[in-house]
Every structure is written in C-alpha cells, then in structure tokens.
Structure 1
Amino acid sequence: MSTISMLIGDARRQAASGATFVRRNPLDESIATTAPAATVADAMAAVDAAKGAFAQWSQLGPTARREYLLKASEALRAKESAFAKAMAAETGASAMWAGFNVHLAADMLKEAAALTTQIGGELIPSDVPGNLAMGVRQPAGVVLGMAPWNAPVILGVRAIATPLACGNTVVLKGSELCPATHGLIIDALFEAGLPAGVVNFVTNRPEDAGEIVEAMVAHPAVRRVNFTGSTRVGQIIASLCAKYIKPSVLELGGKAPFLVLADADLDAAVNAAAFGAFANSGQICMSTERIIVDVSIADAFVAKLTTKAASLPLADPRVSPAVLGSVIDMATVKRCNALIDDALTKGAQLLCGGKADSTLMPATLLDHVTAEMKIYHEESFGPVKGIVRVQGTEAAIACANDNPYGLASAVFSRDVGLAWSVAQRIESGICHINGPTVHDEGSPRFQCNK
C-alpha cells in the first residue's frame, strides 16, 4: 500500500480537511493507495499556485524550458519499476503495458522539449500601405489536465507536456482510480526541478469530482482544458467548458474497426488484430473493437486468430507475467458478460474465452456478429471482441463507417494502393495500413473526426 500527497505550489500537501480516500486493487480489494480527498478550496489553491507561477514560467527562455523537460523525461524513465508496481496494484495492468506507457511518455516529454524552439508566428498581409501585421503565439495561462486510468502515464503526460513546453503552467487532476500512478508523473517533474507552482497535482474522491472540476474550469485563471476519458463524462466536460467559455481538447470513446481485405497477409493481420484487441485487456481508446473480414478468407483468418487469442496468458500481474491482467472493475465484467449473452442469444458463435466471474477476463472472440447485436455498436472496453463477415471491399467500408465513433481504424491488404483508397474513405482520424489500431508515438499526431 502507498500513501501519496498532492503538490500545490512548492508544498507536498494533504487535503485541508485531512480527509482521504482509498483505491483498492480490482482483483482482491486490498488497499492499493491512500490519497488526499481534495476540497474545492484545495483545488482553488492549486489553480492559484499555477496562476502565480505563470508570469515567470511564460517568460523563461525556450532552452531553459527544454532542459527542464529533458530532465523530467529521464526521471520518468527511471521510475519504470515503480510505475509497474503502482499500475498493477491500482488498475491490474501488466508489466508490459506499464513499460510501454513509461517509455512512450518519456518520449513525449522529449518531443515536447524539442517543441520549445519551434513555436512560431506569421506575417499577415495588410491593406494599409506601410503596415505590417504579425501573428504571435503566446502562452495562454493555466491549463487544467484530466487523464484517465487506462493508459495513465501516456495520457497524464500528454495532458501537460505540450502546455508546459509552450510556456503554460498546469494543474493535473489525478484519476480516482490510479492516484499513485499519476502521482509518480508529478514526482518526475518535481525531481526535474521545475519552479514552484509550474506543475500542481490534486486528487479527490469520486463523489467530489463534479464539484471540484466545475470549480477549476470556472476559475478565471484556467484558460484551457484537456480531458481524456469516457464519452459520457466528456459530454459533461464539454458542457462546462461551453458554460464558462473555455477552449478544450477532448479525446473520448472509440469503436475502432479492423478491416481484413481478401488479399491480406493473414499472419500479419492476426498478430495485429490480437495486439490491438487484447493489449491491456482491450481497455484502450484505440483498441480493435470490430474485426471486419472478407468472407473469402474469413474461415482461415478466424481459425488463426482464435488460436492466437486462446494462447494469450491471463494472470494477476503482481504474481506472474501476463498479456492480459485484470480489468479495472466488476462493472466492466458485467458489461462484457452482458454483451456476450446478447450476442449469443442473437446467433453469434463463441470462439474462445467467455463470461467471467472475476476481473481476470480471458481473451474472448465472437464470430458472425451482426448489426442486431449490442457488441456491433457498443464499445466493450474489455477483452471481448466481435468478428463481422462481409462480402467485398465496399461492404467492409460501409461496415467500418456504421458507428458514431471516429477515433482509430486499420486496414490490411497486400495492395497498398487499394489499402490507401480504403483508408481515405474510412471515417476515422487515424487509419493504420497493415498495422494495429493501437499505435502511438511521442510526437503529437493524434486526431479524430467523429
């Protein structure tokens, strides 16, 4: 068990009220973390500290900001084992997923460091003779970052690294489900020596989140909001940002389609589908959610994928190495079990895995999924994936676009020209050609279109 503190200005603090909350391990309900239960007053103090540090930080030269971020990158990378322990305890994540998070997040800090000298402006033509109009990019102020539990290091760092590089100060609101994991990010930045108040960190009880978030969004010093999480909560954040006229960046749910065309390399497609579908037990915004395969090669592809999925190790990551660790909670188990029941009742075929009675859920594949089944439309956000058989490329594209999400996708074909034309017609911000739907790099190139 770990006990953590918040960071407000230059002080490690508990909540002003002295209240705490606990995060329990999803497998055995043991206490993983005890964290401060911030009040609105604590949250306001964090924003005020960021506001107070803004003038100095925003005027600091780009080389100095770069050096701080590079030090933070190295400090973060050195904490890989601590992150693995915290993520296993708080979210049931595997060591593989924790390591991926840490190394990518460290790269994100390096990319942010490189950005400090690349912030430019532009010259704008003027109709007035002798006039010169210039557009200059300036730091905005305090940025509020809110990151989720599922890729906690990547998404926590992404919420604050670029704002820091651009001269803004930040407040990171840690997830109630992984406060210690998010606290380790703050530890790395603190060890890098960033000036007091540039980075602030608050944690709160789940039942207090609404009041605290609204208070921070409403604070006049908060100029930008960055949120990653569920579509349901994202809608609330968007409404708050509209109410208080605060620009926001939101990255929400997904239902990533994975297209396997008739001429695809089946072995490569199987490996990519298995990784995209079951990494972190399918709890990634870019996770492969619908596997759309041409009927002409469906039997061969499905047989190979079933063998691959059934072989993926499932275990408590605190005890032994595993590809699939625990899912985040029993609510996920109940949701995924309900999707399985609904699909089987309506004619789907269970290929491997199945319903679970604990948060250790096996890799599960359902074949012959149709639009009448809930799993066709609804995000499972777990290790339960549906296979849809289609006739031809046009049907595959239509199936891929038959959902309200537009985050990530993938298409497999030996004909790169065909794959490119298909990718252009899929309604998603990212489309990987002959690669998994789950892919990320340190540079900020993540987009969506629905």
Structure 2
Amino acid sequence: MTILLNTIFILFIGIWFVRFFVEMDVPEKYRVSRFFQNTTDYKGEGLTKKDVLRILFLAFLIRVLIYFASVLIYLVQSDFLSHAAAFSWNDFFNLWNKSDAQHYLDLAEKGYVNCTEVTEWSGREEHLFLVFFPLYPWFIRFFHFFVNSYAVAAFAVSIISFCVGCVFFYGAVKEEYGASIAEKSLTLLLLYPFSFFFGGIMTESLFFCLISAGFFYIRRHKWLIVGLIGLLASLCRIQGVILFGVGIIEFLISSQPIRMIEEGQFKGFLKHFFTETVWLFLIPIGNLVYLELNYQITGNAFQFTVYQENHWYHTATWFTNCVAEIMRYISGQVSDTTLLIWYPELILFVVAAALLLYSLRTQPLKYSAYLLVYTLINYSVTFLISGGRYMLNALPLFFFTAALLNKHKLLYPLLCFASALLYGIYFTAFLMGGAIY
C-alpha cells in the first residue's frame, strides 16, 4: 500500500507540473502531449449584490436552525418535559463546549502566559495551549469588548465568520465555475457530515472565511488584499500559508512569464512581480508571529511540537504512515471511535485522492495544489483524531465534486441525501459527547 500511494503521489506531482508549464504558455515545441492540457472551459459569472444578501440571509438562517436543532436533540435525548422549561443559556453553551472549545475561551480570557497545566510527562506546569494559533482567541477577546461573555463573543465570531465566509465561498466558485456549480458546492459544504463545527467555539468558521476570501481575491488578482488575508489565515492555522502557493500559481499562469521572457519582456515581468505580487510575501508572517509567540513564552520557537508529541500524541510523519495507522485501527476491534473517527478519515482520504486525480485535466491548478498540500498536512501526523473536522476546510473537495456531478441528475441528490443523513448521525453523536473531535 505504501509503495502504491507513493507511486501515485510522484506521478501526480509530475503530471501536475507538466500541465503547469503548459498553462504558463511554454512554447509548443516543448510540450510533451496534448493530454496534459485542460479539457474543460468553465464559464464564470460575476457575484451580484443580490447574491451577497441572499447568501448572508441563508447562512444566518441555517446557523440559527442548527442551533435550534441542537437544543431539540438535547431535549429529545433527555426527559423533554422536565428539561424544556428549565433549559438555560448554560445548558446551550455546554452542548457546544466540546473538544478544544474551552481552551480557546481560556486563551481569550487569560492569555497564553496564564494558561498552564501540570503535565505527567514533565512534572511541572506547561504552556500546553501554545499548540493553538492565536487569531481566533484574539478575535474573541476583541468581541468581548462589546458583549459581557467570552462564550457569546466566541459564538459571534463563529457566526459572523461563517456567514461572510459563505458569501466569499459562493463568490469564488461562481466567478470560476458559474452559478450552477456554485450553488451545488455551497450545498455540499453545508451538508458535509462535520460542518456543524462551523457553529462551534473553534477556528473552523474563521479559517473558512479567510481561505474563501483568499480564493475570491486571488481570482481577482487583488494581491495586497490577498497578502493581508493570507497573513491572518496563517495566524489562524498553519495551513493558512498555503494561500501563498495558490497566489503564486495564479500569478504565474496569468502572467505567462515563459512567453514574456521569449519576447524579451523579462524586465516587465520582474516589475510586475515586485510591484504587485510581492504582497503575497505578507502571508508567511502569520506563521512567523506564531513561532515568535512560542519563543517569547518558552524560549523555543517550536515548543508547540513538543506539546503536540507529549500531550496530544501527534508527531510529524509521512502521509502513508498516517493512512496505514488509520487502517490498523479499523482492522482492530470495532468501537465508537472506529465508526466516528477512523472510517470517516479513511473515506475522506480516498475521496480527496480520487478528486485530485480527476482534477489533473479538468480543474484549475491552483485549487488542486491547495487540496493536495492541505490534505498532506492534515494526514502527516500520528494519531489523527480530528481528520473529519480538518477536512471541512479542504474547500476544493466541494467544488470539484460539484463540477463532477453537475450534470448528473441522480448522483448529486443521492450524495446530498447521504451527506444529510450522516450529518444528523454525527451531529447527534457530537452533542451527546461521542468521540468526535
């Protein structure tokens, strides 16, 4: 299995780069084969004010309905009559205060320096929560100036980010693919079995908003805006830095430097790069700020990796080792973690791999590059227990699937039905304290 996966990976990289050079307008005599040329021609459409208002309203309505559903599920699972009248804000908060939620609230309230725990492996207090990137708790602290509750502030950040993110997501896909695929992409995203995390006290919604906005403005070549958004994205999660690569790919394909060099316009290309695209180099600053935060508090810029390994059992590894580990867990005794964690992670990996292969001749290279690197980062750790949640922001999954099924009148609704069914199962398990992280 390892040899097969590595072989497919190497072949994918090779074919991707061949097509990349073709799309940079390499001279015909150097082109390997027409096989490597894009076989599709999507007709993008502009985002309208009506679209913005409609998506904002629908996103907010969906968020409210999901919160209402969480209360209803809780009441159905308990003694409905005795709990309904006494149901309070604290009960609602506790429904969503799962996984890492409390850690983000503590960071927002106390700061990194004051958030410590005594660990068994060191025997002393450690700043364990340096593993969490700072942007989300900083936003919570900012919103706390307007509301007298860190929990309410956190929900506000997630709700606003989700609604705005849906607009940017829809806009990016519509301008690239057209309205039909944009509608289907957003529907698939909302029905993704783990998309309820968008409403939780976690980074999902904020990161979704930033990546979607990054895609939107990369498409429009607004490089300064992309740089600023990317900086925030890389302050939100390590994967945010991938926007740098997405931007560079779009710039090189659109500017066609090989043709410009052949025509003696190399200086013009450099001028364009250093006056416009240079803003993309703002993006890695977010990651550097995070490393500096680690250094200032512990004296080690990479202290977060120590905590990940010793407390969360995450060590960096090649993706094939992660997949092999998941398969070992599946082959063992069946348990709730098998059904809630390992099977979804394996299925998602297979789906992502299949869509990447499909994308080689049919989808924009910048999105296949994002999906590849994002998936590799997620599946390059040991003891991956949050893969379903992490892949929520593998955004090209949704518009690649929508593009593939756009003309299939039967498969698309069947997928929507299956996703909605799994959504209900996993959402209920999450609310009831199941092994969903």
Q: Identify whether the pair has TM-score above 0.5, normalized to the shorter chain.
A: no
Give the shorter-chain TM-score range.
under 0.3
TM-score (norm 1): 0.24
Instruction: Give the TM-score of the pair, scaled to structure 2.
Output: 0.25
Q: Which of the two has greater helix per residue? A: 2
Higher relative contact order (CA 8 A, sep 6+): 2
